[in-house]
Each structure stands twice: as C-alpha cells, then as structure tokens.
Structure 1
Amino acid sequence: MTVSGGRVLPDPAHRAPGRGAHLHPVTECLDLAERRKAFPRAFKVQGPLDISLVRAQVER
C-alpha cells in the first residue's frame, strides 16, 4: 500500500514509489489497523486517511 492525496492505495505489485506499508489481506487485520490508527503512523502523515480502496481490495 502507498498513500497519495490523503488516500491509501493498494499496491499489489509493490512497485509504487515512496513509503509503503504491508497489511494481511483479511478484513480483521484491516479493521484492527483502522481502530489503532496505524495508517497515519505507517506513512508518517498527519490526519485521517481514506482507506476505501484498500477495503474494497481486501473484501474481494
């Protein structure tokens, strides 16, 4: 995953530039990361991030 413009973007090929983060592709892990506010910490950005695209990827 990477972040761009306040959105967390799936990066299954691990080719996007910049800081990346890993998440197990299961809904429970995504929910836990969201509750713990792990995404802003992992990407070292301020404020909430939109994870809707990652959630759609995981729920498939």
Structure 2
Amino acid sequence: MTPERTCVGCRSTEPKAGLVRLVWDEASAAVVLDHRQALPGRGCYLHPACGPVALKRRAIGRALRRTVDGDQVAVLLAELRPA
C-alpha cells in the first residue's frame, strides 16, 4: 500500500509520489522544495497546479505553522508549473 497525503490546496488525497513537498528551512528562513521528500521538519504537500489556491487560502503557512512570504512561495511554485 502506497502512502497517501492530502494536498493543502484542493484538500484531495493522492499517493505521496504524485505531490510536491514544501518544507520550512531554518537556515534560509524560507520555504523550500523537498525534491526527495526527505528533509527534516514540518512539511506540506500539494499538486503543482494547486499552488495559487493554496496561497490564496494561506494554507501553506498554516500547514507549516509559520508566517511565510507569499511572494517567495509564489516564485517557488511558478517554477513547478509547466510553461
């Protein structure tokens, strides 16, 4: 059985491999992508297409239990969306 996670944008569940993990990085004091889904600390999962919805709902900051810079996260998520 594959592990499932909930997307913070659309709130649907999906296998972990189909989602992107975001983590709060203490060293840079910013949200970073966890490509290997193995970085320590609190993280959140989302579909790349659900980024704008998650930002609008402020779901990423709530999930990470931090005040996040919405502009920094928007730039990070823009890199994930296909052109």
TM-score for both structures, normalised by structure 1: 0.76
What's the C-alpha RMSD, in Å, of the aligned pairs? 1.6
Q: Secondary structure at the match of 1:53?
A: helix
Q: Which structure features the higher share of strand residues?
A: 2
- Which has the higher relative contact order, 1 or 2, with Cα contacts under 8 A spaced 6 or more apart? 1
Structure 2 residue 25 is matched with structure 1 residue 25: no
CA distance in 2, matches of 1:43, 1:34: 13
Instruction: List gaps (5 residues or longer) in structure 1.
Output: none
Larger radius of gyration: 2
Structure 2 residue 23 is matched with structure 1 residue 2: yes
How far apart are 1:3 and its partner, in Å?
1.3
Q: Please give the per-residue CA displacement for 1:2-59, whole angstroms capped at 9, x wherever unaligned.
A: 0120x22111210111001001122xx1000000011110000135342122321x22
Give the number of equivalent residue pairs: 56
Q: Secondary structure at the match of 2:43?
A: coil
Identity of aligned residues (%): 29
AA of the residue aligned to 2:69: P
Moved over 6 A (4+): none
* Residues 43, 64 of structure 2: 8 Å contact kept: yes
* Pairing partner for 1:40 from 24, 36, 61: 61
